[in-house]
Amino acid sequence: MKALSGILVVDISRVLAGPYCGQLLADMGADVIKVESPEGDENRRWVPHMADGESSNFMSVNRGKRGITLDLKSPDGQALLRRLVEKADVVIQSFRQGTALRLGVDYESLKAINPDVIACSVNGYGGKGPLADRAGYDLMVQAFSGIMSTTGEEGRSPVRIGVSLNDMSTGLIAYGGILSALYARRDGAGGQHVQVSLLQSAVSLLGYHGVGWLQNGVVPRPEGTGSWHLVPYQAFECRDGRFLVGAPNDGAFRRLCEVIGRQDLAADPRFRTNADRLANKAVLIELLEATFADGDRDTWVDRLDAAGVAAAPLHTVDQAMSHPQVLANDLVVDVERPDGTPLKLLGMPFALSGTPGSPSGHPPRLGEHTEEVLREVLGVDEQEIARLRAAKAI
């Protein structure tokens, strides 16, 4: 049995953050009902598309769910949603606050239907403040939070982080918040509101950058692949590609110097400590670049690793996804499509030894399980299903 078996989740969130949270709950055994409008979640239509026409955006965050369509603007659709909420342990929604109020999926409305429900709201800028109802995508919050200002090369324009970091981390944080609320409910706390946002996630991810500014007013600058407080800690070019070296302490730096045959650098007063290396970063990096350029990537990585110096090749996505280490940790998994053909997706970001999770099914086709859910969960008969279809409520 999986850890969340028996938990019923109604997922009316869209795009990436909320759906990723729902997918994690499904992987851990929850029965997650993905509620979409008759037109479908907008990210079903985003490129790139897979061979069967489905968007990889949608497929990456919706596996293992049962998919239904409801017109939440219709009285019948709203009535069906209320009946689902009555039975739900968890509801996830990602509407702007004004829209959530109009649709009756804000926390107070959900609580009135089911006082024990764990209601998770996912939005762009948080539940309070002057921007609480502003629309927020990952890109905008990367910029607003200051994260984007730390990217790219010094003297050039900042760049977008290449993955939807805020969206995916917000999904993980929502998952943690929901589990905390479920644990508290088990101990008698009842239902509660779990509020997460892209901004909360992004500011938390600032980590030492944010704390550094709070404590001493230091505004971090872009460093490319490097670090503003550790040297050497960045990418280097070699004959057949790029690789990363991390020697964040003096012992690691001495071992690095031994590997490259430049013990003189470790003894050089300009480079003895990390503070010295920071003060003379440009000189040291130029020396290391000249050394590493005359060698092969994998040879350097292997030699440094053998000496206890952290190093890694700079992989492209295809190289990473096919690497034995990625495959050994079940980070690429197969699920079965309705027609029996395999579908490769990403694995889970954590593993439990006693009650492990696993992908439990394919991402649903639009409305694939509507009738099944209405029958099994709500007890709706065939005549009523036909009426609902005729009324375009489902």
Q: Which of 174, 212, 169 is nearest to 9 (CA)?
A: 174
Q: Where are the beta strands (DSSP E) in 6-89?
A: 8-11, 31-36, 66-69
Q: Which helix (H) or strand (E) holds 29?
A: none
Report residue 221: phi and psi, to 5°: -115, 160
The full length of the chain comes to: 394
Contacts 24+ apart (CB under 8 A), 349-354: 349/172, 352/3
End-to-end CA distance of the chain: 32
Going by DSSP bridges, is the β-strand pair 332-336/342-346 parallel, antiparallel, or unpaired? antiparallel
Quote the DSSP letter at residue 364: P
| Of 167, 276, 305, 330, catalytic | 167
Q: Is 305 a catalytic residue?
A: no
Q: Assess contact for 18 and 175: CB atoms under 8 A.
A: no
Dig out the tokens for 286 from the structure.
């130029």
* Active site residues per annotation: 167
